[in-house]
Chains A and B, each alone.
Chain A
Amino acid sequence: QAGLTQPPSVSKGLRQTATLTCSGNIYNVGDEGVAWLQQHQGHPPKVLSYRNNNRPSGISERLSASRSGNTASLTIIGLQPEDEADYYCSAWDSSLGAWVFGGGTKLTVL
């Protein structure tokens, strides 16, 4: 059972903007924030951002992350075919003493 809540799927058109959400509580999302991961079929996940909006080198500037209270968001502008993937949020849960993941959102680029 996922510790964080993500919508199962989001569909947007090419070059449109998609916003993916991740909801938690004060002990995880609302505490130290989330990291966002992207996973293409058959590949391991790749980190896109951490601590809400820090992007590793090489990650597109079309991606930005934010947080408001206990909900985190990942916004992707100018959607491209390669953005079609599964997206997961993860956070440290201080009440559980463990890392938790969202159930993942499948982003479809139409």
Chain B
Amino acid sequence: EVQLVESGGGLAQPGGSLRLSCVASGFSFNNYPLHWVRQAPGKGLEYVSGVSPSGAATYYAKSVKGRFSISKDNSKNTLFLQMGSLRVEDMAVYYCVREADAFDVWGQGTMVTVS
């Protein structure tokens, strides 16, 4: 079964840091671009960041550029999102997402609270 499982969410203070992880299973991890998409409570989806299959190319939304860093460990089938200088507006459920023509596989999400 193709699966993405996020972890690492929790409570952080404004200005603080958190590191999210996403463990993939059921597919060739290093063959697909992977992304983080977030959803604030009661709001829509917002693209956060993405990484190419090799990890060489990364993409960031303007709202997080310079504060967040995406990376992946192909040997451990794990995607990371290092979040720093957290703001109240970063509070959201963070989804790990596989890209194959579209965002075709989503994790269950991990909640990040900034307060």
Q: From DSSP, what is the main secondary structure of chain B's interface residues?
A: strand
Given A44-B95, A44-B107, A44-B108, A50:B101 Cβ within 8 A: yes
Give the distance in Å from the alpha carbon of A102 to the alpha carbon of B44 in the complex.
8
Q: Are B102 and A2 in contact (CB under 8 A)?
A: no
Give the distance in Å from the alpha carbon of A100 to the alpha carbon of B47 in the complex.
6
Q: How many A-B residue pairs have CB under 8 A?
A: 56
Q: Are B103 and A98 in contact (CB under 8 A)?
A: no
Residue in B44, B95, B101, B107 whose CB lies within 8 Å of A88: B44
Q: Are B61 and A98 in contact (CB under 8 A)?
A: yes
Please tell me if A104 contacts chain B, counting CB pairs below 8 Å.
Answer: yes
Give the distance in Å from the alpha carbon of A56 to the alpha carbon of B98 in the complex.
14
Q: Are A35 and B103 in contact (CB under 8 A)?
A: yes
Which residues in A have some Cβ–Cβ distance to B below 8 Å? 2, 35, 37, 39, 44-47, 49-51, 54, 56, 86, 88, 90, 97-104
Residue in A46, A49, A50, A104 whose CB lies within 8 Å of B45: A104
Which residues in B have some Cβ–Cβ distance to A below 8 Å? 35, 37, 44-47, 50, 59-61, 95, 101-104, 106-109
Given A2-B44, A50-B101, A99:B50 Cβ within 8 A: yes
- Closest residue of B by beta carbon distance from A44: B106
- Closest residue of A by beta carbon distance from B65: A98
- Closest residue of A by beta carbon distance from B47: A99
Q: Are A98 and B59 in contact (CB under 8 A)?
A: yes
B107 to chain A, nearest CB (A): 7
A-B residue pairs in contact (CB < 8 Å), sample of 29: A35-B101, A35-B102, A37-B45, A37-B103, A39-B45, A44-B95, A44-B106, A44-B107, A45-B95, A45-B103, A46-B106, A47-B102, A50-B104, A51-B101, A51-B102, A54-B101, A56-B104, A90-B45, A90-B47, A90-B103, A97-B59, A98-B47, A98-B59, A98-B60, A99-B35, A101-B44, A101-B47, A104-B44, A104-B45
